[in-house]
Amino acid sequence: MTLTVAGSINIDHVIRLPQFPRPGETLTGRDYRIVPGGKGANQAVAAARAGATTRLVACVGEDALAGSLVAGFAADGIDTAAIDTVAGVNTGVALIQVNDNGENTIALAAGANGELTPARLERHAAALNCEQLLLQLEIPLDTNLAAARAAKTQGARVVLNPAPARPLPDELLALVDLITPNETEAEQLAGVAVNDDAGAAAAAEVLHAKGIDTVIITLGARGVWLSERGQGRRVPGFSVQAVDTTAAGDTFNGALVAALQQGLPLAQAVHFAQAAAAISVTRPGAQTSVPFRAEIEALLE
Ligand code: ADP
């Protein structure tokens, strides 16, 4: 039994600049890199590096970089048998700008991620027989719904990182056991402003009322709001010097499910995941910033 991640694979094109260009402005960046990314892939890599047996259900295009991306996942120990190569499309792309405050802006083209349809998912039905299913929102919503339904029917814990922010049908939320929005995503889903702990508590209650047992709202450098029905509290994160917050949430999610997979109680799993995410913000890039288990344990000592 394993963890299955169904989600996106992207190639991130990252430019670092002093500040973001305004509309119509051209700014020369300091450095440009091509980095493996995509929320599904990032979270699968984070889970695998944190020690979980991990499968990734996803699609890439027929471009030159796709093969090296998939080889990279295999090198991280991820089962890649359910990664399809789709003819006639490109692998998903993210154009990322990172400024001197470590903030980012991201423009996405879904490419092959849009080809992970419910019909294609059916071909990988065996992968949904898992202990935990981890989903995000960079693949078609119908596919997430079908995956959640199939995994839940077979007794899996369904974990949804509802990113990027968008409205979601109650039908999907009712299948979710654990949801991990950031502040913006929690506001969008709950219709409640999340500017402080009281706002986080109110948003968590709205999500509990939709049928979700555990709500974790990630609050950037402030840590997380951890809420189990009727009981919420803020858990501070680790104090580090942030250089690039790309994939902080992805690292948190992958490490969280890996810790739960290993049987850690929720509070300890959150602590482990916050340590992993804190390390990731001290390094540039998406998958390039994701720590390995030994590094996370060293921070926890
Ligand atoms: P997202 O990247 O999805 O917006 P957050 O910014 O909320 O997610 O970050 C996810 C988690 O990463 C946080 O809950 C926290 O544990 C960790 N984290 C993010 N930014 C920092 C930071 N500047 N310092 C320490 N930990 C951070």
Residues forming a β-bridge with 135: 6, 160
Instruction: Respond yes or no: is residue 177 known to be catalytic.
Output: no
274 CA: nearest ligand 1 atom: 16
Return the closest-CA partner of residue 163 out of 191, 137, 189, 194. 137
Tokens of 285: 């890039």
C-beta 221 within 6 A of ligand 1: yes
Tokens of 253: 């999610």
In this prediction, residue 16 carries a pLDDT of 92
Tokens of 3: 């963890």
Residues forming a β-bridge with 6: 57, 135
> What is the distance between the alpha carbons of residues 295 and 223, in angstroms, rounded to a whole number?
19
How would you write the pLDDT of the chain (301 residues) with one tens digit per residue? 589 999 999 999 999 999 999 999 999 999 999 989 999 999 999 999 999 999 999 999 999 899 999 999 999 999 999 999 999 999 999 999 989 887 889 999 999 999 999 999 999 999 999 999 999 999 999 999 999 999 999 999 999 999 999 999 999 999 999 999 999 999 999 999 999 999 999 999 999 999 999 999 999 999 999 999 879 999 999 999 998 888 999 999 999 999 999 999 999 999 999 999 999 999 987 888 999 999 999 999 9
C-beta 114 within 6 A of ligand 1: no
Name the residue of 252, 282, 300 to mutate for ligand 1: max ligand atoms within 8 A of Cβ. 252
C-beta 180 within 6 A of ligand 1: no
If you measure from the C-alpha of residue 282 to the centroid of ligand 1, how many angstroms do you get, rounded to a whole number? 11
- Whether ipTM > 0.95 holds is yes
Name the residue of 12, 137, 218, 300 to mutate for ligand 1: max ligand atoms within 8 A of Cβ. 218
